Amino acid sequence: MSSDSTIAGRWEYGQALSDEERLAVEAERTSFNLRRGRLVIAPLLVVMIILQGVFAWAVVPVDPAARLWRDNAIVLTNLLIACFALSQAMFRFRPALAARAVDALIPCAALWGALSSANIQRTRPAVDLFLVANLSMVLVFRPRLRSLIATQALATAVLCAGIIGLQSNRVVARTELVVVFTVSFAVLIVGRSNLALLAREVMARLVIDRQRAQLEAQSVELAALNQSLGERVQAQVGLIVERSKELAQLNAELRERVDQGARDLTALLRRVTGGGDPGGLAIGSVLNDRFELESVLGVSGMSVVYRARDRLTDEPVAVKVISPKSAHELGAMRRFLREARASVRVEHPAIVAARHIDLADGQLFAVFPFVEGTSLDRVLKRQGPLSLLRAVRIGRLIADALAATHAAGVVHRDIKPGNVMITPDESAIRLLDFGISKLHEPESPDYADTGEGVILGTDQDISDLATEEVVKNQLLLTAKRRPRVSERPWFVHV
């Protein structure tokens, strides 16, 4: 936008306008004048024709000055009628030229008012026709400011010349001149105010149109973005489903490999009859350059459990190593491997599955995920009898875990508080020690370890079928009282 157009816009419309905005204001001004012209030109034409008839049929004055005024008034009225008729014809037959006709009609009406007021000075002092013609045109139409200034200057000059030349009373002439200049100044103020109001209305509409266009563009952009986002989400869902299938397949392969490794080690240990005494493992030892032992978590008759760190993943793990006194017993090794096989077979949050089984310097070990928690046996010793609601909740978690093991064809056979770990918030449990579990397989070697007359496990906790009695006797009763012999269920595999 140039500085000249900015100054012109501020002078004419009261605010700086760009070229586009000036064109919009001019188009609105033209449309406004056309609408008003269709409404008022035809009635004004009828009024002027009636006025002309009054002049024509009136009695001719005797006074020469009045007769001259009448004759001039008829001529001026005919000229204005011709202007109105031409404008009306343009509206009807040449609509494209109607806007120019309206712009030309405004100065014609102003000059008619000035000439008529000057003509009437022959008979009496009056400038009412000048006032009515100019104010009516500027109130009804919206002329350009430059055209309005030129029109007012010409009409004012004509009327002032008429007043000075035809008005003999100098006092009346001065009064009329003051009125004429006041009317001209008022017409200019009204005309510019109307243009400024028109410009503000157009600018407000332009702002609304621009905002509407921006909102429509943003809505289209948002719709496209939403569609793109939906497609991306759908693609991500498809990718997640595909990855989950791959992970499920890898998990199944991993479980199969662990299970097969346990089987292979079992078959290998069947051929092993003995070896050197491996002894215990020192804290800080690293098994197979991967699992670094950090501390001892627990010791049982068959194994030792260490807290270790997996150097490959930098995660804490639990490493279960067969104890030195059981390293030469083939049955103990079988039970050790059976625990790993049973844990990977059951898919349940309460079952801690073995991740890795291997030999390190003649030492058989299994790696499990490290789980925070406390054994139920320790909870009972420290807290005593549990409340009914708490006992039922823990018992239900145990029953749910056993149902999963049975569904996978595994019987734990050593359910007791020492083999039940409870998480810190008691929202879940973990079943531990599947060493004497039974796997229902066509060629299961479990009978070799639990043959006829062989009893393994704790007397009151040896069978999964005794879980309900365990919960009743050790959760609901006091920790100090042990169940009577008649309450102790025995399980003997024969």
pLDDT band at 267 (very low <50, low <70, confident <90, very high): low
CA 360, CA 409: separation in Å to the nearest integer? 31
Could you tell me which residue, 337 or 205, shows the higher pLDDT?
205
> Does the pLDDT at position 176 exceed 80?
yes
What is the model's pLDDT at position 266?
61
> Does the pLDDT at position 319 exceed 60?
yes
Could you tell me which residue, 352 or 471, shows the higher pLDDT?
352
Pairing of strands 291-299, 315-322: unpaired
CA 205, CA 35: separation in Å to the nearest integer? 19
What is the model's pLDDT at position 190?
94
Phi then psi for residue 167, to 5 deg, are -90, 120
What is the model's pLDDT at position 187?
94
What average pLDDT does range 10-24 have in this prediction? 80
What is the model's pLDDT at position 321?
87
Structural domains present in the chain = 3-207 (no CATH), 272-371 (3.30.200.20), 372-494 (1.10.510.10)
| Angle value at C-alpha 424, between 395 and 467, nearest 5 degrees | 20
Element (H, E) at 292: strand 291-299
Compute CA distances 332 → 268, 303, 326, 366, whole Å. Answer: 14, 9, 6, 14
Using an 8 Å Cβ cutoff, are 415 and 461 in contact? yes
Could you tell me which residue, 88 or 414, shows the higher pLDDT?
88
Q: pLDDT digits over 120-167, tens only?
A: 888 888 898 899 999 988 999 999 999 999 999 999 999 999 999 988
Could you tell me which residue, 257 or 194, shows the higher pLDDT?
194
Q: Mean pLDDT in the chain?
A: 79
Lowest mean pLDDT among 104-108, 194-198, 398-402, 477-481: 477-481
Element (H, E) at 163: helix 145-166
Give the highest mean pLDDT range of 46-50, 252-256, 417-421: 46-50
> Does the pLDDT at position 481 exceed 50?
no
What is the model's pLDDT at position 401?
80
